[in-house]
Structures are given as structure tokens and as C-alpha cells.
Amino acid sequence: MGLQQKITPYLWFDGTAKEAADFYVSIFPNSRIITVGHHTEDTPGQTGSVLVVLFELDGVQFGAINGGPMFKLSEASSYLIDCATQEEIDFYWDRLGAGGQYQACGWLKDRFGLSWQVNSSELVEKAHSDPAAGARVMKAMMDMVKIDLAALQQAMEG
């Protein structure tokens, strides 16, 4: 089965593409490994090892390639998880952040180096509909590591 969407993010790993895909699939609902491609005899010393993985996270397809050590994932690209509740934020924060690094403003880097934003776009959109409320929400968020929706709601309300 090939890719089913026009644009597909492809992630670069150094030998951990399948492990990372399995990790992500275990966290997100409606997720699965689509296919795993292996090196052939044309790649001496790597025959049979995983080259690419196509996987789906809650309906969004991704590719992962074991491309080697020359490139690293960085915060220059991140994936926003739009959460409706604090429980949902806590769920993704705890699971994706385990073994990784927690960063400011709801960002984290997982143990594979992929950056995630665990936040609520609904609250951010509401806050930005009123410039004064938006400024209060942004100020409160800048002091947070994990997003606290109740505290951001209070900041929005003044």
C-alpha cells in the first residue's frame, strides 16, 4: 500500500526508524504501521535491515528513513498536537516526553529527537481574537513548560 495523501512528512533517523514508528503508533489512536522496506543485497553490510517505514498517526501518514548519521531532527520542524482537555495534554506530554527533553511553552523533544508542541489551538485562537487577552495568555504560556489550560483560561479572562 502506497501513500494516500499528497504531502507526507518524511523523518530522518540513524537506524531507529522502525523503533520510532512503533513508539509513535503505540501512543496515537487510529495509528498503524503501513509498510516496512528493507535494504536489499545492493547495500552490502545492510542487507535485510530496515530502510524505510510508512506509518499513520491518527489518520496522517508519515515516512521514516534510516538515512544515517549525517542529519539530525531538530526544533526547526515540529508537530502540533491539538488537545481539547488537560487530560489529553497530560497523556501526550507524559508519553512522548518519556526519555526525551521537556521544553518551554508546551514543546518537548522525544527520545528520538522529534519535536512536538502539545497545546490547545482552540484556547490560542480564542486568546488571539482579543489582543489584550492574547498578550496575557502568551505571557502566562512563556512561564510554563507543560501547558496548563486552567491557568491559560484564567490569564485570558484577566
Which residues are CB-neighbours of 17 under 8 A, at least 6 positions away?
Answer: 11, 50, 52, 53, 64, 65, 66
Write the CATH number for 156.
Answer: 3.10.180.10
Whether 9 and 56 map to the same domain: the answer is yes
In terms of residues, how long is the chain?
158
Whether 93 and 121 map to the same domain: the answer is yes
Whether 77 and 151 map to the same domain: the answer is yes
Which residue spans within the chain are E strands per DSSP? 10-13, 32-38, 50-57, 60-66, 78-82, 101-102, 107-109, 115-119
Whether 94 and 153 map to the same domain: the answer is yes
What is the reported pTM? 0.90
Residue with cell 503508533: 25
- Chain segment 78-130, per-residue pLDDT in tens: 999 999 999 999 999 999 999 999 999 999 999 999 999 999 887 777 777 88
pLDDT of the residue at 50:
93
Q: Residue 36 is part of which domain span?
A: 1-70
Whether 55 and 82 map to the same domain: the answer is no
Whether 99 and 120 map to the same domain: the answer is yes
